[in-house]
Amino acid sequence: MPAIDHLGWAVRSIDSARPHFEEGLGLGFQSDEHFPEVRTAFFGAGPTRIELLEPLTPESELGRFISRRGEGLHHLALRVDDVAAALAEAQKLGFKLIDKAPRPGSRGTTVGVVDPQREDGVLVQYVQA
């Protein structure tokens, strides 16, 4: 049974959202990383971790997500032993593969994203440490 690694939360600006997650929710800042189309920041520790995702361009996948749905829950990240095996199983279950193969993620992890094609639009990310 996979455990929850973190919740991915789409925001227009990490800097603007930071006080809510740090002060309002009491989740301490852990790390900040930049990727080609997204900036990420992790808050909280242990079983309570939130990843804020800020699009670096409005044309990026995340920028389009926020344009369509607004800020909020973007993905549920599940900790797994083998991302490739989790992607293969998800495909057997009828999930749409966003990532066809594992790829590098934040904090030195390996990740893979799938779309369970639910109306709520929340994606599932598999995380291997």
Domains along the chain with CATH numbers = 3-128 (3.10.180.10)
Question: Using an 8 Å Cβ cutoff, are 45 and 28 in contact?
Answer: yes
Provide the pLDDT confidence category of residue 1 given band limits of 50, 70 and 90: confident
Span 96-124, pLDDT tens digits = 999 999 999 999 999 999 999 998 889 99
The amino acid present at 41, given as its one-letter code, is A
Average pLDDT over residues 43-72: 95
Element (H, E) at 18: helix 14-19
What the block records as the tokens of 56 is 């670096």
- The structure tokens listed for 60 are 């990026």
